[in-house]
Homo-oligomer: A and B are copies of this chain.
Amino acid sequence: MFSSMGNEYISGQQIAQELGCSRQAIWKAMDELRQDGFEIEAIRRKGYRLIGNSDQFSKSELLYQLNTSHIGQVIELYESVSSTQIIAHEKAKDGAKHGTVIMAEEQTSGRGRMTRQWSSPKNTGIWMSTILRPTIHPQEAPPITLVVAVAIAQSIEELTGIIPTIKWPNDILVGSKKIAGILTELQSEMDVIHYMIIGTGINVNTEEFPEELKSIASSLLIETGEKQSRVKLAQLIWEKVEKLLDIYEKHGFAPIKLLWESYVQSIGQEIQARTLQGTYQGIMRGITDKGVLELELSNGRIVPIYSADIEIL
């Protein structure tokens, strides 16, 4: 009933009639929605009007018209946590279902890849960890980071019109600045995945970054000049992750790889890859079906890069 969010008022009586319940029940529901963070205006003889959403996430808003079977269907929402990733590990160990999402308005010690810090200020971003129990073998897990990167890139494009770029392995950029990052963790036996945790940090409505991050980080608000709906973005991501994951499980990485490459600008360019074993320089040729980056050195030799920080030269 609130799908045409905007200037229209709708009377309590009309809602009650449409839903076949009492006006008392409507009044109670409105109160609950308000407590969940919706801003609802109520004017005598005119009715109710949804003004907008507060800067707070609410479960009912996140679940409203969410078009998934599993991902995001169970949400645990926190005001402030050290890291959603840590909570997700605990919940997964306790048997949380495939698709359960742990979200927080703020992380006090959010983590990126390799225990790097991730800034997660209050009410400005999407800081969430999704528990997956995919029906794949552990060997097939590494490309999942790339599947999620495509889902985030597509969602940002659909919401804002901006076409982001993916930086292998786990960053989403707008221009040269980081908008989002992915941290994929795996807990498995040798031949069976117990669970995966997909951590995603997305700078949505950050107005300003601290001095030390200004040159490397940005937000959708800064890039578009407009506040963006965190709820809509989260829903888009869940829908696309579910869809792409299904494609990956059924058809392998080939169809995803095409999508992934369409968001990557460094293919064919000279890059530097800093690995734990040393630094390599060469032309990025692409990725394999296992998600491994292929770097062509000046002598023509192709080096597989499993793990690195890359930079376009």
Check B192 against A184 for contact (C-beta < 8 Å): no
Of the candidates B137, B183, B189, B306, the one whose C-beta lies within 8 Å of that of A185 is B189
Determine if B187 and A183 form an interchain contact, defined as CB atoms under 8 angstroms apart: no
Cβ contact within 8 Å between B145 and A190: yes
A307 contacts the other chain (CB 8 A): yes
CB of A227 within 8 A of chain B?
Answer: no
What residue of chain B has the Cβ atom nearest to residue A291's Cβ?
A: B190
How many chain A residues touch B (CB < 8 A): the figure is 29
Q: Is the CB of A137 within 8 A of B190?
A: no
Q: A135, A144, A170, A186 — which one has the most chain B CB atoms within 10 A of its CB?
A: A186
CA distance A287 to B261 in the complex (A): 33
**Copy total for this chain:** 2
Q: List A residues 97-145 near B (Cβ within 8 Å).
A: 113-114, 135, 137-139, 141-142, 144-145
Binary B-proximity of A185-199 (CB < 8 A = 1, otherwise 0): 111111110100000
Asked whether A169 is an interface residue with its Cβ less than 8 Å from the other chain, the reply is yes
| A141 close to B190 (CB less than 8 A) | yes
Question: Are the C-beta atoms of A188 and B191 separated by less than 8 Å?
Answer: no
| Docked complex Cα distance between A190 and B149 (Å) | 13
A290 interface hit (Cβ, 8 Å): yes
Nearest residue (CB) in B for A275 is B191
Give the residues in chain B near A306, CB-CB below 8 Å: 137, 139, 191
Residue in B188, B189, B192, B290 whose CB lies within 8 Å of A139: B290
Q: Which residues of B contact A291 (CB under 8 A)?
A: 190
Task: Name which of A138, A170, A194, A276 has the most chain B CB atoms within 10 A of its CB.
Answer: A138
Question: A209 to nearest B CB, angstroms?
Answer: 25
Chain B contacts of A307 at CB under 8 A?
137, 191-192
A117 → chain B, closest Cβ, in Å?
15
Partner of A184, one of B145, B184, B189, B276: B189
> Which A positions have Cβ atoms within 8 angstroms of B?
113-114, 135, 137-139, 141-142, 144-145, 169-170, 183-192, 194, 276, 290-292, 306-307
Q: Kindly list the 3 A-B residue pairs having the minimum CB-CB distance in the complex, ordered from nearest.
A: A191-B307, A137-B306, A184-B190
6 contacts between A and B (CB under 8 A): A139-B292, A141-B190, A186-B188, A186-B190, A187-B187, A192-B307
| Given A139-B290, A170-B190, 15 additional A-B pairs, CB 8 A | A114-B189, A138-B138, A138-B141, A142-B190, A142-B191, A145-B190, A169-B190, A169-B191, A184-B189, A185-B187, A185-B188, A186-B186, A186-B188, A187-B187, A191-B306
